[in-house]
Structure 1
Amino acid sequence: MTDQERELQGIPSDHGEIHDLTNSQGHGFQCLLYDGLYFPMAPPALTKVGNQLEKYKSIKAAQLNKDDVVVCAYPKCGSHWLFEVLRMLTTGSLHHRKSQLRDHMIDFIFKDGIENLPPPRLLSTHLPLRMLPTQVVEKRLKCIQIRRNPKDACVSMYNNVKNMTLPKTYDGTFAEFTEAFLSGKLPYGSYHSYLTSWAAEVSPEQPVFYLYYEDMKVDPLKCVKDMARFLDLDVTDTFCKDVLEACSFKNLKEKEARDKQEGRYPGFWKKGSDATFYRKGEIGDWKNWFTVAENERFDQIWDEKMKDSGIKFTFSV
């Protein structure tokens, strides 16, 4: 990317090496490459963060406490929903807070933002384990990783990026995006690499609770109770049910609408967009997007990449 192109897109010249991941149709992403992972460029309205590369590097040195909890997920696998549920579980309050997921997201707030949050902290991230603060492993912080079937994650991510600034909107078709999703030529790289890298990097001593989005949809009360036990929380079944009602898809979508009206998403969505983090939340919506041929190709590539992982997904109910 030339200096002129950086200037036109509002990208500071000190942000590090920018990789152009556009395809032959000119559709794709500009990403910052760091430690083998593609990072999303900050939208123009958010470039006041300063040197983005140095900010990412700062994350590993962040000071954490033993009782901090980290929500881990590849993009569009349910982290917004899970975060709201866990926030209520860990605070014992059914009150919706004004702060949003991004205010607790390691990838966005970096070292200084992490350390400025009042403890105990509930943090969130799309990063692989090797890029998290070293104290996540050193202090054996509890992590909860939510996994979603890759086809629904792909559809959900496409519907997000085509309405984001990024710093420019994604203009490609769904078929083009699927190719980027499978090849990893997009922010945060490929989903299969995210999953396999976690499996390779995490030790048996690290307390990690693996949650499947589809299980959370089918039997949410069991999932919430299991997470509460993992976190050593003394909560009643009634409170767990109340948390699930407060964090229903309908209620979270209404909360997001209020947040938008109050201006809590500056520079994030393109102007005039009706984009939402809570679009459908269904299991199997991918069937409305993939052609038969696209689905077969997706299966072939995904199954080959994940054949030795032992991870199995539910694609429909």
Structure 2
Amino acid sequence: MAMTTELGEQKQLKEVAGIPLQATTVDNWSQIQKFEAKPDDLLICTYPKSGVEKASAMPSPRILRTHLPTQLLPPSFWENNCKFLYVARNAKDCMVSYYHFQRMNQILPDPGTWEEYFETFISGKVPWGPWFDHVKGWWEIRDRYEILFLFFEDMKRNLKHEIQKVVHFMGKNLDETVLDKIVQETSFEKMKENPLTNRSTVPKSILDQSISPFMRKGTVGDWKNHFTVSQNERFDQIYREKMEGTSIKFCMDL
């Protein structure tokens, strides 16, 4: 019984500066904030379920990952002028992917029905906070720091071109053969089979892949299979309000 209570408590989200986060993250908050970044670190930043696995297969010095919004990042990253790679995915596909991820993730709160989750997501009551603020936060500071801002949809359209951008950003040169090899290895199909990226070795008590695979579809436009017409209209309205004044443009379909 103690075990289930413990797991139940773990699944509850706690807040830091108004952003809902996993309990374990919040419990270690002071440690996280004290993290010492090195000047040649590359920090890959994404909102959850935005396709960061591809980037981790690319060559570099120390590669770190975070889902933190800009305002919660440990200060040493800014102080050491680290390089940041931000991968953004359109909000509708992101919502769908996050919904299925929360269904199978036994450590996060149960998302409830799709209708319920739709409300949770647009109100930003999901782990790591609102998608809108997260994406806007990183977009607005992209010229002030060494930030390469990439879109998941561009990766689907022309992966080689996006990988070339990353290689260039990291100050490296790769010959065509190596580049093609990376493109091959980071294709969704290949990564879905790879235990290092498909999370198949994670115990079922944490990620229950019988509910939904960790790497589900990795497509653009799957939101059309989930959103009702009225949800879509409502979402578009909310999107316009929340993203007003920002120059960021997303592709909703390929």
- Identify whether the pair has TM-score above 0.5, normalized to the shorter chain: yes
How many Å separate the matches in 1 of 2:199 and 2:136? Answer: 36
How many Å separate the matches in 2 of 1:260 and 1:308? Answer: 38
- 3-state SS of the aligned residue for 2:15? strand
- 3-state SS of the aligned residue for 2:78? helix
Bigger Rg, structure 1 or 2: 1
Unaligned runs of 5+ in 2: none
Cα RMSD over matched residues?
Answer: 2.5
How far apart are 1:62 and its partner, in Å? 1.3
- 3-state SS of the aligned residue for 2:149? strand
Does residue 142 of the first structure (1) align with residue 83 of the second (2)? yes
How far apart are 1:274 and its partner, in Å? 4.6
One-letter amino acid of the counterpart of residue 74, structure 1: Y
Unaligned runs of 5+ in 1: 16-28, 43-51, 91-119
- 3-state SS of the aligned residue for 2:148? strand
Does residue 33 of the first structure (1) align with residue 6 of the second (2)? no
How far apart are 1:237 and its partner, in Å? 2.3
- Quick check: 1:59–1:131 contact (8 Å CA) kept in 2? no
- 3-state SS of the aligned residue for 1:71? strand
One-letter amino acid of the counterpart of residue 37, structure 1: I
How far apart are 1:55 and its partner, in Å? 1.1
Does residue 174 of the first structure (1) align with residue 114 of the second (2)? yes
Does residue 53 of the first structure (1) align with residue 17 of the second (2)? no
Aligned residue runs from structure 1 range 1-317, under 5 A: 8-10=4-6, 30-42=12-24, 52-84=25-57, 86=58, 89-90=59-60, 120-167=61-108, 169-170=110-111, 172-200=112-140, 202=141, 204-256=143-195, 263-265=201-203, 267-270=205-208, 273-317=210-254
How many Å separate the matches in 2 of 1:146 and 1:78? Answer: 7
One-letter amino acid of the counterpart of residue 121, structure 2: F
Identity %: 30
How many Å separate the matches in 1 of 2:63 and 2:126? Answer: 27
Q: Per-residue CA shift, 1:53-86, capped at 9, x if unaligned?
A: 34122222111211110000001111123223x2
Q: CA separation of 1:9/1:66 partners in 2, compared to 1, >3 Å: closer, same or farther?
A: same
Structure 2 length normalisation: TM-score? 0.90
How many Å separate the matches in 2 of 1:239 and 1:203? Answer: 29
One-letter amino acid of the counterpart of residue 277, structure 1: F
- Quick check: 1:155–1:286 contact (8 Å CA) kept in 2? yes
- 3-state SS of the aligned residue for 1:9? helix
Q: How many residues align?
A: 254
- Quick check: 2:221–2:252 contact (8 Å CA) kept in 1? yes
One-letter amino acid of the counterpart of residue 175, structure 1: E
- Quick check: 2:102–2:109 contact (8 Å CA) kept in 1? no
Q: CA separation of 1:299/1:259 partners in 2, compared to 1, >3 Å: closer, same or farther?
A: closer
How many Å separate the matches in 2 of 1:58 and 1:255? Answer: 32
How many Å separate the matches in 2 of 1:286 and 1:195? Answer: 19
How many Å separate the matches in 2 of 1:253 and 1:210? Answer: 24
How far apart are 1:294 and its partner, in Å? 0.8
Structure 1 length normalisation: TM-score? 0.73
Q: CA separation of 1:203/1:234 partners in 2, compared to 1, >3 Å: closer, same or farther?
A: closer
- 3-state SS of the aligned residue for 1:217? helix
Q: CA separation of 1:155/1:10 partners in 2, compared to 1, >3 Å: closer, same or farther?
A: same
One-letter amino acid of the counterpart of residue 18, structure 2: G
- Quick check: 2:20–2:126 contact (8 Å CA) kept in 1? yes
Q: Per-residue CA shift, 1:136-191, capped at 9, x if unaligned?
A: 11111000000111000000001110111125533x11121111111011111110
Q: Which residue of 2 aligns with 1:95?
A: none
